[in-house]
Amino acid sequence: MSEATASSALPPEQLSERVAAAGLLLPVALMLLLSALSHKDGSAGPIALSDTVLAQGVAIELALAATMGFWLWRRGWRPFKTATYPFQPLDVARGMILWVCAIAAVAVWVLVCRTVFPHLFAVAKETEILGGPQLSLSLIYSILNAVFEELLWLGLGFAAFRRFGWGVAGIVSAALRLLAHAYQGPLALVTVLPVGVLFTLYYARTRRLWPVVLAHAFQDTLALGLLAGHSSSGLPNIS
For the chain, what are the domain ranges? 13-38+45-227
- Cα(111)–Cα(175) distance, rounded to whole angstroms? 22
150-198: pLDDT as tens digits: 999 999 999 999 999 999 999 999 999 999 998 898 999 999 999 999 9
* pLDDT at residue 218, rounded to an integer: 97
Enter the pTM of the model: 0.90
Residue 88: pLDDT above 70?
Answer: yes
User: What pLDDT, on the 0 to 100 scale, is given for residue 7?
Assistant: 44
Mean pLDDT score of the chain, rounded to an integer? 90
- Pick the residue with more confidence: 131 or 177? 177
pLDDT score of 46: 82
pLDDT for position 233: 43
pLDDT value of residue 98: 98
Give the pLDDT confidence of 34-72 residue by residue, as tens digits. Answer: 888 876 655 556 888 899 999 999 999 999 999 999 999
Q: Pick the residue with more confidence: 87 or 128?
A: 87
